[in-house]
């Protein structure tokens, strides 16, 4: 990696046209705007990029377009987790072939009852061995109903090709343990839940990958920098200005809420793919009201 | 459909070689043996077929091989659910192109918090409209953490291209409600949990799609027929002989347990794909002991 | 016990006056009406009796009044579970002192993470040893978030003072296993979920303790008898006539819904104690409509 | 209240003799030792005091003994939550009669499906109206499977007799929202999860009620003071020295683990009441090893 794995990344929403076709021009226009902010890089085809709704070819096109549009000083992380170890390796290789810098590998989860620590450990070790890119573990129990324990993360962290983790659990006790157990390693810890960004940064998180950073990128960057520079009061004020906004575009209204809010602030959000639905009028009003609060504080 | 949608189907395990490559010869050998039983048909690339670990090409190959190997009097159901409505339609079309009779469509689930009844309803209606094959709804909350309510099923059942449901919840109250609410419809209800097969059949289920039917196909067929013919005592005896076996090859040891047990009775089970792991020695002994009980009663 | 442990029991609602005081006269009036039905007995101070809202003295008064009002041919089961083993024994002794025939002992649950099989086994054995009355295990994971496995039940069943179980999980696979594993024992299995009454009876359950039996006692009795006498079609028709009613007075609207419905059919329901609330007008209309369906079929 | 509601409190373990009888002398001896630390006060008959295993008389005796033994500068909070609003008021009155300063009222939870925000709001308002003591809300979803949302807390906070909350969810996003929404109120926010003490304090929590404070009271006090005085590095070092210890005496080994560890450091822990069990030898060794780590850093 030419870039250090740290800083704020948006898990980029993937724009579609009105008939649900991929809209790469809109994606590139978003990236052009984000290039002017303090974002450290981009996550292409993550959860919020509706990766599960994209074909393999579409995923490849999104990653390639991101690499192409990203400014020199930004790195590109590609979502490349699949249910099987072998398919995961294939997805990483494809991402590598178009220039992604690293790959984010979500825990397999379809057979949740069988995804014991031994299964996850074997999976990540096989993937890490075969991967042409540094990989990051990705723990998102809200979507997967599978949780990686800090002890398991600590066993995987020393592997030279396992570069870090994104933990979206929102569980600060768990994040704290991960930081404690990996503090001697070269291991980048990204928090994936904006509502705990202040605390995560204060505990030592290296970066953050946050849906709300699609909408309010600089606010997220400023928050992390305030905490790092010791201005905790400012950090807390920024946190409190956007916590509710962050919840609305994730757990409350999901990707539809995120895209609708992106449209409100001048990014290309656009429609979601079915079975996702766009927020109704009442939800749009809630989003607009909260957005006003968040941006007035920023 | 030339065949009536009823009877017992195995959600076929997908055999692999020692290096995890698809082993279609072994699959066809299994089907040849099953052709001699009372099974009504085959489910290709369902959950127990490790469909989530197969590439699109591999899935296609498995469906085609199943169509080719199935006896005249057996029908072929293909697992074709994807997270997005449009990808699902594509998967059904591919399955249709190689001769599948119908398609089983699991509920989308990655964004579980957003999979509200309105989303699921919109999804299934769009898929049903565009599908060249009759589709069956598939409810398996153990894997998806999403549940389809009987009321939602009842709203979808009248659609001419929605031919039925597989409900694997194991929740008999729910299955009973589905049967009650759809009893006037031409709608096939398959139970997906062998531990409640006796009760489900007695309440009027049309068929069953059961992991354990990979191992003990005729026992499952005999159980359903005993109940239908009014021999409830025999039905209960068969149920009690195999309930624990059925649990071992699903919730307890998963697909690895299923494949190991298939090997014990002369089918081709073979290895699973990582991140699944095969059962350890202690588990193999439990499986063998329970298999002895189940087969001595059959 | 002079009575055999079998048949249908209502977990009696406990009537209160408008200012939430115990109304024993109303309770006795209910029992007088129930005495004329085929109910086998009464459960005093069970969950639906709002036992958790009654003081120890009030519980004692309810049990005593029930013993007094019950017809000769009805038996009285008293809810007497407490969190600690010693308090449970005390509650059973008090119930025995006023004439209860047996005691229903819910699984302790406050420290759910610690309620492992070994804890539950030690609890029930100590209670059984010290109890002056035969006890029944009570498994209701919806309320307790603790589940007793069939294996644990099978280990406890041989104890001479453990007379049976009420399983309200609604899980027919589990109930079937309990019946299978205890079929050689003198062990009474009561189902506690009316929505699966038909299937539970068909599998061999000895009795049922059902909230809806407060409202439609004879229908529940008739259903069990129809199934036992082999008239499964009638059993299923009765089941389907009341399944939704049963859900409304339990999982949907709770004890408030139950009491409101009792008032509609001429029993004394009356108010609940705070923090429970009575159903609103819309809910009352749903209850009335469903009641009409259930009673027209009965 | 003569004391300000802030600082660290142990939810005191309740010592028993070998035959499970209340040991008030041991309790008072513990308090005498704690009086010499920086603890702000004591929580009598909280969850960790095995309150659910104590009779009403025993609870009263524990509260009275705590009031008697507490140093002048310590306040006494009494656990007084009951399932019904009226029983809760009675419990608070009894606690007040022996000198408790305030009462901690856990969310009712037996009928979890019915404990909607409206029910909880009505409950706390009725209790607050009738209570002779200031009350604190108590949210502990791990035990109750009921969660109080920040919005509900914010609606209750202005009541003059609702003095604060103990939130044991461990959810920092939720705690942050509670702090944000009540920051203009005279409302004390206590965190109930030691693994997030550093972050909670940094966000502005007024105090903490922590099982591990039974064992390591001064470490917890020092941690809060370090963070408040701006020495975040020291705060984090203390946090990391005791996070695992805190987990062991709560979620991992429960009250048995807590009491065993108290014995190791010279407090009176002693046996638990059945159905709780003491940790086995392997667990004792884990506890001892972790205790060594925690105390060496303190």
Choose among A176, A199, A244: nearest Cβ to D243: A176
Determine the length of chain C: 298
Interchain CB contact of A206 with D (< 8 Å): no
What's the predicted TM-score (pTM) here? 0.96
In the prediction, which pLDDT does D3 show?
A: 66
Q: Do B199 and C180 touch (CB under 8 A)?
A: no
- Answer yes or no: is pLDDT of A191 > 60: yes
CA distance D105 to D88: 8
User: For residue B93, which residues of chain A lie inside 8 Å, CB to CB?
Assistant: none
Q: Do D126 and C47 touch (CB under 8 A)?
A: no
User: For residue B114, which residues of chain A lie inside 8 Å, CB to CB?
Assistant: 254-256, 276-277
- Optimal mutation site among A181, A196, A197, A293, interface D, most CBs of chain D within 10 A: A196
User: For residue C83, which residues of chain D lie inside 8 Å, CB to CB?
Assistant: 52-53, 275
User: For residue C119, which residues of chain D lie inside 8 Å, CB to CB?
Assistant: 274-277
Res. B4 pLDDT band, cuts 50 70 90: confident
Report which of C83, C136, C165 is spatially closest to residue D274, judged by C-alpha positions.
Answer: C83
Phi (first) and psi of residue A76, to 5 degrees: -120, 120
D136-186 residue pLDDT tens: 999 999 999 999 999 999 999 999 999 999 999 999 999 999 999 999 999
Interchain CB contact of B214 with A (< 8 Å): no
User: For residue D243, which residues of chain A lie inside 8 Å, CB to CB?
Assistant: 173, 176-177, 180
Q: Supply the range of the domain harboring residue A211.
A: 7-218
C41 assigned to some structural domain: yes
Interchain CB contact of A87 with D (< 8 Å): no
Is the reported ipTM for this assembly greater than 0.90? yes
Active site amino acids of B? 166
Interchain CB contact of C94 with B (< 8 Å): no
In the prediction, which pLDDT does A12 show?
A: 98
* Token pair of B290 as six digits: 């329970």
Q: Do D199 and A195 touch (CB under 8 A)?
A: no
Q: Number of folded domains in chain D?
A: 1
Interchain CB contact of C120 with D (< 8 Å): yes
Alpha helices in chain A (DSSP H): 24-35, 56-69, 85-97, 117-130, 141-144, 150-156, 172-181, 197-203, 217-228, 232-247, 254-264, 281-297
C277 assigned to some structural domain: no
User: For residue B85, which residues of chain A lie inside 8 Å, CB to CB?
Assistant: 273-275
D129 assigned to some structural domain: yes
What number is the average pLDDT over the span B235-255?
97
CA distance B52 to A110: 8
- Optimal mutation site among C171, C176, C194, interface B, most CBs of chain B within 10 A: C176
The DSSP-derived string for C208-258 is EE-GGGGT-HHHHHHHHHHHHTT-HHHHHHHHHHHHHHHHIIIIITHHHHH
Q: Do D173 and A180 touch (CB under 8 A)?
A: no
Q: Do B195 and C203 touch (CB under 8 A)?
A: no
* Token pair of C176 as six digits: 């079937």
* Token pair of B59 as six digits: 């899935």
Of C4, C112, C166, C234, which one is the catalytic site residue?
C166
What number is the average pLDDT over the span B73-99?
98
- Tens place of pLDDT per residue across chain D (298 aa): 556 899 999 999 999 999 999 999 999 999 999 999 999 999 999 999 999 999 999 999 999 999 999 999 999 999 999 999 999 999 999 999 999 999 999 999 999 999 999 999 999 999 999 999 999 999 999 999 999 999 999 999 999 999 999 999 999 999 999 999 999 999 999 999 999 999 999 999 999 999 999 999 999 999 999 999 999 999 999 999 999 999 999 999 999 999 999 999 999 999 999 999 999 999 999 999 999 999 886 5
A237 assigned to some structural domain: no
Q: Which residues are CB-contacts of C294 (< 8 A; sequence separation ≥ 6)?
A: C216, C219, C241, C242, C244, C245
Interchain CB contact of A225 with B (< 8 Å): no
- Tens place of pLDDT per residue across chain C (298 aa): 556 899 999 999 999 999 999 999 999 999 999 999 999 999 999 999 999 999 999 999 999 999 999 999 999 999 999 999 999 999 999 999 999 999 999 999 999 999 999 999 999 999 999 999 999 999 999 999 999 999 999 999 999 999 999 999 999 999 999 999 999 999 999 999 999 999 999 999 999 999 999 999 999 999 999 999 999 999 999 999 999 999 999 999 999 999 999 999 999 999 999 999 999 999 999 999 999 999 886 5
Q: Do C122 and D55 touch (CB under 8 A)?
A: no
What number is the average pLDDT over the span B102-131?
97
Interchain CB contact of C48 with D (< 8 Å): no
For A107, nearest residue in chain B (alpha carbons): B275
* CATH number of the domain bearing residue B71: 3.20.20.70
User: For residue A254, which residues of chain B lie inside 8 Å, CB to CB?
Assistant: 111, 113-114
C167 assigned to some structural domain: yes
C271 assigned to some structural domain: no
Residue C139 per-residue DSSP state: E
Cβ-count burial of B125 within 10 angstroms (0-12 exposed, 13-18 middle, 19+ buried)?
Answer: middle
> Helix, strand or coil for residue C136?
strand
C46-78 residue pLDDT tens: 999 999 999 999 999 999 999 999 999 999 999
Interchain CB contact of B147 with A (< 8 Å): no
Report which of D45, D10, D41 is spatially closest to residue D24, judged by C-alpha positions.
Answer: D45
Of A33, A166, A183, A236, which one is the catalytic site residue?
A166
Report the Cα C157 to chain-centroid distance in Å.
19
Q: Could you tell me the CA-to-CA distances from D292 to A57, B274, D288, D295 in Å, in that order?
A: 55, 40, 6, 5
Choose among A83, A111, A254: nearest Cβ to B113: A254
D258-285 residue pLDDT tens: 999 999 999 999 999 999 999 999 999 9
B44 assigned to some structural domain: yes
Q: Do A195 and D173 touch (CB under 8 A)?
A: yes
A74 assigned to some structural domain: yes
A242-282 residue pLDDT tens: 999 999 999 999 999 999 999 999 999 999 999 999 999 99
């Amino acid at each position: 990696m030419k870039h250090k794995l740290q800083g704020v990344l948006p898990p980029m929403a993937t724009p579609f046209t009105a008939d649900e076709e991929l809209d790469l021009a809109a994606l590139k226009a978003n990236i052009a705007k984000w290039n002017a902010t303090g974002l450290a890089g981009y996550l292409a085809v993550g959860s919020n990029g509706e990766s599960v709704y994209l074909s393999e070819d579409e995923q490849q096109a999104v990653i390639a377009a991101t690499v192409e549009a990203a400014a020199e000083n930004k790195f590109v992380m590609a979502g490349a987790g699949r249910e099987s170890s072998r398919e995961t390796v294939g997805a990483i290789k494809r991402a590598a072939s178009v220039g992604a810098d690293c790959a984010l590998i979500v825990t397999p989860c379809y057979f949740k009852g069988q995804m014991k620590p031994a299964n996850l450990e074997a999976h990540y070790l096989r993937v890490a061995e075969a991967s042409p890119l540094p990989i990051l573990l990705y723990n998102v129990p809200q979507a997967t109903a599978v949780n990686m324990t800090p002890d398991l993360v600590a066993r995987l962290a020393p592997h030279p090709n396992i570069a870090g983790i994104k933990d979206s659990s929102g569980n600060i006790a768990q994040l704290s343990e991960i930081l404690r157990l990996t503090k001697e390693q070269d291991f980048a810890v990204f928090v994936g839940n904006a509502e705990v960004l202040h605390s995560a940064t204060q505990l030592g998180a290296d970066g953050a990958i946050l849906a709300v950073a699609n909408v309010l990128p600089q606010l997220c960057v400023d928050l992390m920098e305030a905490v790092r520079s010791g201005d905790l009061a400012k950090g807390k004020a920024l946190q409190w200005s956007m916590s509710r906004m962050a919840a609305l575009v994730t757990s409350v209204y999901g990707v539809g809420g995120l895209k609708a809010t992106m449209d409100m602030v001048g990014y290309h959000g656009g429609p979601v793919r079915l079975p996702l639905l766009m927020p109704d009028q009442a939800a749009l009003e809630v989003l607009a009201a909260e957005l006003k609060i968040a941006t007035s504080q920023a």
